[in-house]
């Protein structure tokens, strides 16, 4: 999957991400800064990684947008994460596509020999599988008929609590990771890299996504910054609550907001996928 750098491909990546960003804005999936985020990450991923990398980004974007519209009215009342008019901003775009964009850059600065060039792609697939798993788990897990339990203590928590998990959420997360895994394997088949490479990519990306998603929940339950809204008497992930009250720090590390948790989880997904790919090769 190693090709010379092409200006045309970078321009194509820019044009394509601008269109995707525009559609996302129109469908109210992105705000203005989110469009910028989509263009930055999309241009790097498509322009430097190539179509197989870009495909994973698109499938993540389309499937997670579709899921956020799925039973949206119901979810609005279940947890504040799903409050009406919620558009993804720059921070969220970078949290979700940032790791894959960085990997696309790294793959150009440190090109590997033909034999191991697939490792950069495996890492990208692991990162995208991780954010896809996490988004699917969030969007579908909230609809679980049973209340979530905290991943660390197994105590019952309110719906929408960081680090709270349900069986439905775990299933959704594995499904989200597997979809990215299958697609990365399919692109290896299209590129005639053989069945071994295909199977390895499916396994590495899916396992990476599951690991990243697990890491996300663990951070959410332990060190992610959580605030308290005095007005609503509720825990929240936001320094300013949706009721416009400035909230007080309750626990966790102040710098570690939800976007950074997502980004770190995608880095873990990339590392696990690259490690598995490397080890099995």
Residues in touch with Zn ion (CB under 5 A): 229, 231-232, 241, 243, 245
The smaller minimum CB distance to Zn ion, of residues 1 and 232, is found at 232
The smaller minimum CB distance to Zn ion, of residues 80 and 89, is found at 80
Task: Give least dist CB 87 to Zn ion, A.
Answer: 20
Task: Give least dist CB 233 to Zn ion, A.
Answer: 8
Task: Give least dist CB 51 to Zn ion, A.
Answer: 45
Task: Give least dist CB 222 to Zn ion, A.
Answer: 24
- Maximal C-alpha separation, the chain: 59
50 contacts: CB under 8 Å, gap ≥ 6: 1, 3, 9
For residues 165 and 147, give the distance between their C-alpha atoms in angstroms, rounded to a whole number.
9
The smaller minimum CB distance to Zn ion, of residues 157 and 229, is found at 229
For residues 34 and 45, give the distance between their C-alpha atoms in angstroms, rounded to a whole number.
16
Provide the CA 249 distance to its chain's centre, in angstroms.
Answer: 26
For residues 140 and 169, give the distance between their C-alpha atoms in angstroms, rounded to a whole number.
6
Task: Give least dist CB 235 to Zn ion, A.
Answer: 10
- 177, 221, 256, 61: CA torsion to nearest 10: 20
Strand partners, 227: 236, 249
The answer to whether 204 touches 241, Cβ cutoff 8 Å, is no
The smaller minimum CB distance to Zn ion, of residues 194 and 239, is found at 239
The smaller minimum CB distance to Zn ion, of residues 222 and 245, is found at 245
């Amino acid at each position: 999957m190693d090709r010379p750098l092409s200006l045309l491909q970078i321009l194509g990546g820019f044009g394509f991400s601008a269109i995707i960003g525009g559609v996302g804005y129109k469908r109210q999936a992105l705000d203005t800064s989110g469009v910028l985020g989509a263009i930055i990450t999309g241009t790097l991923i498509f322009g430097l990684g190539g179509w197989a990398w870009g495909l994973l980004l698109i499938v993540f974007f389309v499937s997670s947008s579709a899921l956020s519209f799925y039973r949206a009215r119901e979810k609005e009342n279940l947890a504040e994460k799903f409050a009406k008019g919620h558009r993804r901003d720059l921070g969220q775009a970078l949290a979700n596509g940032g790791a894959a964009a960085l990997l696309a850059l790294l793959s150009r600065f440190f090109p590997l020999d033909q034999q191991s060039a697939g490792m950069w792609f495996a890492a990208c697939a692991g990162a995208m599988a991780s954010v896809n798993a996490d988004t699917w788990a969030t969007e579908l897990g909230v609809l679980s008929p049973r209340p979530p339990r905290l991943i660390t203590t197994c105590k019952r928590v309110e719906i929408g609590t960081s680090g709270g998990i349900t069986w439905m959420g775990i299933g959704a997360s594995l499904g989200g990771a597997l979809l990215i895994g299958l697609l990365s394997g399919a692109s290896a088949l299209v590129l005639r890299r053989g069945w071994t490479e295909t199977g390895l990519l499916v396994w590495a990306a899916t396992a990476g996504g599951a690991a990243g998603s697990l890491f996300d929940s663990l951070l959410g339950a332990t060190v992610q910054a959580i605030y308290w809204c005095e007005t609503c008497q509720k825990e929240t992930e936001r320094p300013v609550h949706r009721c416009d009250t400035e909230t007080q720090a309750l626990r966790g590390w102040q710098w570690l907001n939800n976007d950074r948790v997502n980004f770190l989880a995608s880095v873990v997904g990339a590392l696990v996928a690259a490690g598995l790919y490397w080890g099995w090769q």
